[in-house]
Amino acid sequence: MVPVVAAASEVPRGRGSSPELKVLVGRDVSRAAISGRSLKIIDGEGWTHSCGDRVSVKATRDNRFALTLSARSLPGPLRIFSIDGAVSVDRGLFRGSIELINHAGRRMNVINLVELEDYLCGVVNAEIHSSWPIEAVKAQVVAARTYAFRRMLDSGSAYHLTATTEDQVYRGRSIEDNDAARAVRETAGRVMTYNGEPILAYYHACCGGATDSAADIKDRDLPYTASTTCRWCGDAPIYRWEFTIAARALARLIASSGRPVKQVDRVVPRRLTQSGRILELDIASPGKVVTITGEELRRIVGYQKIKSTRFVVARVGDSFRFRGTGHGHGIGACQWGMRRMAENGYSWQQILQHYYKDIAFSRLR
């Protein structure tokens, strides 16, 4: 094992031993209700204000924030923390502190500053379930740690990653439990590397029989995400899906994305990946063909409706019926495959090496 990832020393540290991650937990909101024990706010000029156990903050103009319970107005950005290291924002409870950054006039972004290892405890039960076999939970933790750390190194914005499926789902302290904490502790600091660099460890719920490369799906050259067959997820409850939509409704949705479509007569796959995911398809109406990507169709119709681009589509009367396998974009690790591999005795290292090619394991300093 490579002992250290050099890049780890280049990122800010939390008060404990792990790097400090900035996670967007509220996007473009006008106000936030914040609570915690003996809250303190550090304003944009460096002054500290005591706020008791509860404060409601509203974004106003000129990068200022109104504290609505005390009628104070403070210059941003604001950093808010409590004496016991956890802060509630609206319905979420987060370790670390909260930063409020003015965004587009009277709106703000809510960012949780949290140590990487603490963050992971708030990811496990949002992404899978900590009652899964421990080696699968550890594989999930190492994938999530690697992904978050890579985003931390690459991100140029005020935050490193979002708390949704755009990156990985994070719900903070309220979903932590002992099994999640154990998987984090027993893999402390471990990340996957390729050529000595932490990888962008994409993963998804269920591959439907084979994964695909990031080069195919996202046009990103990440050699460690080469397509691989997966014989593990075939009995997953989310393996097969079906969705039917009226032709008129489909035309309306595609038109709402700005494309000149009034009617859909045929939906014809045009270009496939080597594992059979649809890269591009033709939306055909009389005298007109519009080509869109499979992932774009998922975005337009709904990621929970067309669950993957591994589907066949047929016209049935006035409707289109999509039948597919898998759930998610199909790059990197398959979460249900990880679960079944763990049930069959594979270690977290073996599981990850199955889904990511030519990787090594390193430890963040």
Q: Which of 101, 116, 233, 251 binds Zn ion (CB under 5 A)?
A: 233
Is 334 a binding residue for Zn ion by CB under 5 A? The answer is: yes
Sign of the four-CA dihedral 289, 290, 292, 296: negative
Burial of 153 (0-12, 13-18, 19+ CB in 10 A): middle
CB of 241 to Zn ion, least distance (A): 14
Is 352 a binding residue for Zn ion by CB under 5 A? The answer is: no
Say which residue the tokens 């949705």 belong to: 253
CB of 200 to Zn ion, least distance (A): 19
Point out which residues pair with 67 in neighbouring strands: 57, 72
Cα of first residue to Cα of last residue in the chain, in angstroms, is: 13
Question: In angstroms, rounded to a whole number, what is the distance separating the alpha carbons of residues 213 and 216?
Answer: 5
Is 247 a binding residue for Zn ion by CB under 5 A? The answer is: no
Of 230 and 281, CB closest to Zn ion: 230
CB of 335 to Zn ion, least distance (A): 8
Q: Which of 230, 247, 292, 351 binds Zn ion (CB under 5 A)?
A: 230
Task: Pick out residues in 153-212 that bind Zn ion (CB under 5 A).
Answer: 207
Asked if 210 contacts 275 with a C-beta cutoff of 8 angstroms, the reply is yes
Question: In angstroms, rounded to a whole number, what is the distance separating the alpha carbons of residues 353 and 231?
Answer: 15
Stretch that binds Zn ion, among 55-63, 107-115, 121-129, 328-336 (CB under 5 A): 328-336
Q: Which of 306, 337, 341, 354 binds Zn ion (CB under 5 A)?
A: 337
Of 149 and 348, CB closest to Zn ion: 348
Q: Rounded to 5 degrees, what angle do the CA atoms 82, 85, 87 make?
A: 60
CB of 276 to Zn ion, least distance (A): 13
Task: Pick out residues in 9-68 that bind Zn ion (CB under 5 A).
Answer: none
Question: In angstroms, rounded to a whole number, what is the distance separating the alpha carbons of residues 50 and 38?
Answer: 7
Stretch that binds Zn ion, among 23-31, 138-146, 166-174, 326-334 (CB under 5 A): 326-334
Residues that bind Zn ion (CB under 5 A): 207, 230, 233, 334, 337
